[in-house]
Amino acid sequence: MASAEAAGGSGPPAAPKSRKSVTGTRRTVAALFLLPALVLLGALVVYPIGYSVIRSFYDQSGDGFAGFDNYEALFTDDGIRTALKNNVIWVVFAPTVATALGLIFAVLTERVRWGTAFKLVVFMPMAISMLAAGIIFRLVYDQDPDKGVANAVWVGVHDTFAQASAFPKAHPGRESPLEAVSGGGFITKATVSAGTPVTLPLVGVAPDQMPGSAKTAVEAKADPDEVTGTTWQDFTRGKGVGTLGGVDASELGYAGMTIEAVKDGKVVARAEAADDGTFTLPAAADGARLRLPPDNFKEPYNGVDWLGPSLVTPAIIGSYIWMWAGFAMVLIAAGLAGIPRDLLEAARVDGANEWQVFRRVTVPLLAPVLAVVTVTLMINVLKVFDLVFIIAPGSSQDDANVLALELYRKGFSEDQPGIASAIAVFLLLLVIPVMWFNIRRLRREVRR
Amino acid sequence: MRSTSRNRTSRAARAAAAAAAGALALSLTACGGDDNDSGNEQGGNDQETAGTVTLPKLNGESLEVAAVWTGAEQENFKKVLAEFEKRTGAKVTFVPAQDPIINFLGSKVAGGQPPDIAMLPQPGAIKQAVDKKWAKPLGAEAINELQENYSQGWQDIGKVDDKQYGVYYKAANKSLIWYNAKVFENAGATEPKTWDELLTTAQTVYDSGVTPFSVGGAEGWTLTDWFENIYLSQAGPEKYDQLAKHEIKWTDPSVKDALTTLAQVWGKKDYVAGGANGALQTDFPASVTQTFTGGDQPKAAMVYEGDFAQVNITQAKAEVGTDAKVFPFPAVGDTAPVVSGGDAAVILQDSKAAQALATFLASPDAATIQAKLGGYLSPNKNVDNSAYPNAVQQKIAKSLIDSGDDFRFDMSDQAPQAFGGTPGKGEWKALQDFLKNPSDIAGTQQKLEADAAAAYGN
């Protein structure tokens, strides 16, 4: 610092002694002033790094020298490898998507009247701590559509196009005349004949889940020219099955259940149960087996398994982008403000359309800012911990694992400080090139 | 450990028993009636107190007790300490600690100021404290009191190398199944006593239109507790102990049987609320609340967990004893299992006062005070069952005491933490995978064995 000033300023022509600098401070005084910073830096940064490096060469208890064993574990342990893989996914996707979104927001808000208000809203998540954001998104991604907004939207959209059935959990009870079909649904074990009323009892639908139109089930009347029968919930609340396979007083009919008569694998007749559960099939159904097709039992759509093993990492990256797109936007908007307007004007006068202006003028001019934002986010992403730790449920924490989380788990819950230190050193090695790039860039900026 | 500690945080919400002070006074006068040899009238205090335990005068002494308890649990324990202060004249300070307490104690010891007594949650932690030479053995009086009030089994798990270190002051009964009374009534189902009856009950409930079980699979410890109950009852205590020490392998046929039995519940379609994927994202509090909310149509009818589930039931605005009832985990083999947990008082700084407090905590007097305040279970067999505030608590306490020495301590709490106590690792993860794919018994066993071998180092 002192030398820079010496070079810049044309000090007194006859500097008496080399021991004094231009400003007249002695080296010892300078050292004295630097001392507190050096001590703090040494104690809080250099010493921990040094100790971590040393510790990473010792075994679990810290007594025996382990050589490169911990580093070997680093690359053979399944958990750490998943963490490494996920870290790569994070570093590739999170910064680029966040920067891209930030760029889009910044360029667009420049043209909107309420741009500042919009920017404020997008930037707001930055004011929330990672921990709070994690808790928020744990709820957003909740599997239960009644709790998780992501699934609520998803299920809402899905259900507009595909309706769930009324009897998802219905199934044959004890000693039932029905048996399950491999593709779903149920079929009678025996064939049916006209003139003998058929009973198709099922259980597993609670009274309050019955369709509103369902009425008390009645036994079908025999008709020699038709196949008649009843399908109903063979379970009375508080009493159990009652008469097994027989209609009891307060049991409800399966209103709207579809019944198919199947002969040699072909559907010969089809009917829908009335509100009291009775149905009538034409004489053609005589000698057929009756099938309750799987459509009757379709499970309600339960949404996407956001926090399941396959989607958990993208889901968490989504929450990260929610937080950091605003940061990227603000930096890029600042860069954008510094672009000379006349260049854009000139391009427009030359006949470039808006997309060409954006693609050929704005983005190249912004490139240094974009690079800084991406690299800063990369460093930030390499150490991501809190979001993963909080959002991923225990069952998929392994699949969402990242290096920083693995470091914590190895160090504090598995009592493996040696391996944890090795992970820390490895993370440091990963960050150094990115940091070096950023610092070099910064220096160049300053020189310019 | 996980199970109880998780609850500690939420226990703050549990309202302190309304008549806390009244109950305390009651217990004192009740004790005062029967015997007198230890007349402990303290200077300045006109209330006469007497108990079954003789304590020395300790005026001017001061003690520190560390435990991870918070909220009402801490309040209630402080009342017990207050009684000790009154009887002896010593001053006792409660030091709130964090989980895992053994790490907390490590920093205290390193700082040269360990508390006099700490409440340690697992046998493993006591052993660790002894190995590190932090723990001090109990004196003759405390051992005497312990032998008088505790069954051999509860004494033994407080021992390390045949020396008594721990007084199990608080116990947890982890062999309970809580059920929604309304659903059982609607379905006409009854409390089962055996595993087969449990399956019948589950089927009846399922036929009535309610999913039988709620499983909090997002946290692995609920799953290990399921397994432990079945294994203890089916394979017997000897095998249980061997497996806990990893003397037999997880590929043992007995493990296969237990997993097969477990799959009868976990593997049956629609038996677990939300299916396997839903259960794997349900944490423990949610697994309890979803069983006791929703009127006639809760998400599930039964939820398995220990006595501490009461806290979550209360939070779900259900009444324990009327809305929420409980039955002991049914017998899979010859006898019903009793898997337990607990916190043991261990002396870290030996003194007359610390020994006296350990003696007091081993006495029925101390346990009775906290039993009356609710939310607490004592392994002390001389605590009168009527001291517990409600029928459910009495039932839980009775099944714990009746098990005598046949109870077993939570197996995953005895295992190294890498195997039995880390989210997404070891036993937790293996059983979560098993919940997802209950047909893969051999694969689960192999994974368990591989992880166990790595964690136990044998």
**Domain positions in chain B:** 2-36+53-173+340-408, 176-337+417-456
Q: Are B183 and B205 in contact (CB under 8 A)?
A: yes
CA–CA separation, A422 and A80 (whole Å): 11
The full DSSP string for B369-418 is: HHHHHSS-----TTS-GGGSSSHHHHHHHHHHHHTTT--EE-HHHHS-HH
Nearest-by-CA chain A residue for B286: A144
AA identity, residue A53: V
Question: What SS3 class is residue B82?
Answer: helix
Tens-digit pLDDT profile for residues B248-282: 999 999 999 999 999 999 998 889 998 888 898 88
Alpha-carbon gap, residue A46 to A23, rounded angstroms: 30
Contact residues, chain A, for B206 at CB < 8 Å? 169, 171, 203-204
Measured between alpha carbons, how far is B183 from B176 in angstroms, rounded to an integer?
A: 18
CA distances from B346 to A94, A422, B75, B140, B154 (A): 50, 36, 20, 15, 14
Query: Measured between CB atoms, which of A235, A302, A308 is closest to B208?
Result: A235
pLDDT of A18 = 53
CA B175/CA B354 separation, integer angstroms: 33
Architecture of domain B2-36+53-173+340-408: 3-Layer(aba) Sandwich (3.40)
d(CA A444, CA A439): 9
Judged by a CB distance cut-off of 8 A, whether residue B221 touches chain A is: no
pLDDT at A402: 94
Once rounded to an integer, what is the mean pLDDT over residues B35-55? 49
- The token duo for B425 is 């690792």
B280 chain-A contacts, CB cut-off 8 A: 308, 393, 395-396
Does any CB of chain B come closer than 8 Å to the CB of residue A175?
A: no
pTM of this prediction exceeds 0.80: no
Are the C-beta atoms of B47 and B78 separated by less than 8 Å? no
B188 contacts in A (CB within 8 Å)?
Answer: 238-240
User: Per residue of chain A (448 residues), what is the pLDDT tens digit?
Assistant: 444 444 444 444 554 555 556 666 788 888 899 999 999 999 999 999 999 999 999 987 778 888 888 999 888 888 888 999 999 999 999 999 999 999 999 988 888 888 889 889 989 998 899 999 999 999 999 888 888 899 899 888 888 877 667 788 888 887 888 888 887 888 888 888 888 888 888 888 887 778 878 888 888 888 888 888 888 888 887 777 777 777 887 888 888 888 889 888 888 888 888 888 888 888 888 888 888 888 888 877 778 888 888 899 999 999 999 999 999 999 999 999 888 889 888 998 998 888 898 899 999 999 989 998 999 899 899 989 999 999 998 788 888 999 999 998 888 777 788 999 999 999 999 889 888 888 888 788 777 6
CATH classification for the domain delimited by B176-337+417-456, as one of 3.40.190.10, 3.40.30.10, 3.50.50.60, 3.30.360.10? 3.40.190.10
Three-class SS of residue B363?
A: coil
- Using CB atoms and an 8 Å cut-off, which of residues 340-379 of chain A contact chain B? none
Q: Mapping DSSP to helix (H, G, I), strand (E, B) and coil, where does residue B314 land? A: helix
From B96-105, B164-173, B244-253, B263-272, the region with the lowest mean pLDDT = B96-105
> Helices B20-34 and B71-88: crossing angle, nearest 10°?
40
Tell me the fold of A79-153+306-447. MetI-like fold (1.10.3720)
Three-state DSSP class for residue A78: helix
> Residue B313 CA to chain centroid, in angstroms?
17
Nearest to B297 among A142, A206, A241 (CB): A206
Cβ of B209 and A413 within 8 Å? no
> Given pLDDT bands bounded at 50, 70 and 90, which one contains residue B3?
very low
Residue to mutate among B102, B183, B224, B280, with most A CBs inside 10 A, is: B280
Q: Determine the pLDDT at residue B77.
A: 93
Residues of B with CB below 8 A from A302's CB? 274, 278
Instruction: Quote the CA–CA distance of A237 and A261 in Å, as a whole number.
Output: 31
Cβ-based contacts of B211 with chain A (< 8 Å):
169
> Which chain A residues are closer than 8 Å to B417 by Cβ?
413-415
* Among B350, B358, B362, B416, CA closest to B135: B350
> Is some CB atom of chain B closer than 8 A to the CB atom of A409?
yes
Q: How many CB atoms lie within 10 A of CB B167?
A: 32
Chain A partners within 8 Å of B432 (Cβ) = 394-395
Mean pLDDT computed over every residue of chain B:
84
ipTM over 0.85: no
In 3-state terms, what secondary structure has residue B61? coil
What is the nearest CA distance from B217 to chain A, expressed in angstroms? 7
Q: Which amino acid is at A250?
A: S
Give the three-state DSSP class for A94. Answer: helix
Measured between alpha carbons, how far is B401 from B340 in angstroms, rounded to an integer?
Answer: 11
**Residue limits of CATH 1.10.3720.10 in chain A:** 79-153+306-447
Say if the Cβ atoms of B186 and A238 lie within 8 Å: yes
Strand partners, B328: B176
Measure the CA–CA gap between A406 and B418, rounded to whole angstroms.
13
CA atoms within 13 A of residue B185's CA, in its CB half-sphere: 10
d(CA B213, CA B198): 11
Q: Which of A76, A236, A248, A395 to mutate to test the interface with B (most CBs of B within 10 A)?
A: A395
* Residue pLDDT, tens place only, A223-248: 888 888 888 888 887 777 777 777 88
Whether B14 shows a pLDDT value over 60: the answer reads no
Do residue B424 and residue A204 have CB atoms under 8 angstroms apart? no
| A201 DSSP assignment | E
